[in-house]
Amino acid sequence: MTTSQARAGRGRTIPEHCSTQTVQRVCVAETDMMGVVHHANYVAYFERGRLEYLRRRGLPYKAMVARGFHMPVVELNVRYKKPAYFDDVLSVETRLGALSRVTVRFNYTVGRPQQGGAGEPEVLLEGHILLACVDEKNKPRPLPEDVVRVLFLPEVSQSDDLVIPGSRAGRAGNA
């Protein structure tokens, strides 16, 4: 194990499975007069990605908040490479990047699958978010051990579980 890997995961290498993929379809409200997705809108994609990262490992963020742990964003970085357009289906990869006693870093890659599905998706942008664990008064608070454990898990479920119970459709999709 290299020093860099050790730092990345509090003495642990971050496993390849520490990644969650969500999918977004671009709607009109997200575009701007240049005909592309306005750069500010990707920040919401990132939020959805990390909420889903937690949920698919059995720990909804809501449960953390209920226990008095909040995770505000303390750093945001995005490098935009190519534009996205209305109706594009985008993949958002949220990958655990690093952990310290009070912070978690997620790395993001937003891609657009190739027509036909062959080959790697085109990378539209990359970024990362650094979150700090704080209490209700915004004071830094060490990440609880069970949360750290969950962050290292593979996904329990690969779906976002957007099923309305009793719905005729079985699964009612998200536009």
Binders of a second copy in range 52-71 (CB under 8 A): 52, 55, 60-62, 65, 70
Please list the residues that pair with 106 across neighbouring strands.
Answer: 96, 129
Helix (H, G, I), strand (E, B) or coil at 63: helix
The distance of closest approach from Cβ of residue 88 to a second copy in the complex, given in angstroms and rounded to an integer, is 10
Neighbours of 109 (CB within 10 A): 18
Of 102-141, binders to a second copy (CB under 8 A) are 113-114, 116-118, 121, 127, 138
Told to check if 172 binds a second copy by CB under 8 A, we report: yes
Told to check if 98 binds a second copy by CB under 8 A, we report: no
Told to check if 32 binds a second copy by CB under 8 A, we report: yes
32 tagged catalytic = yes
Q: What are phi and psi of 78, to 5 degrees?
A: -135, 130
- Look-up: residue for tokens 């998706």? 121
Q: Is 52 exposed, middle or buried (0-12, 13-18, 19+ CB in 10 A)?
A: buried
Stretch that binds a second copy, among 3-11, 29-37, 97-105, 146-154 (CB under 8 A): 29-37
Told to check if 16 binds a second copy by CB under 8 A, we report: no
Which residue among 68, 89, 142, 154 contacts a second copy (CB under 8 A)? Answer: 89
DSSP code of residue 147: H
Catalytically active residues are: 32
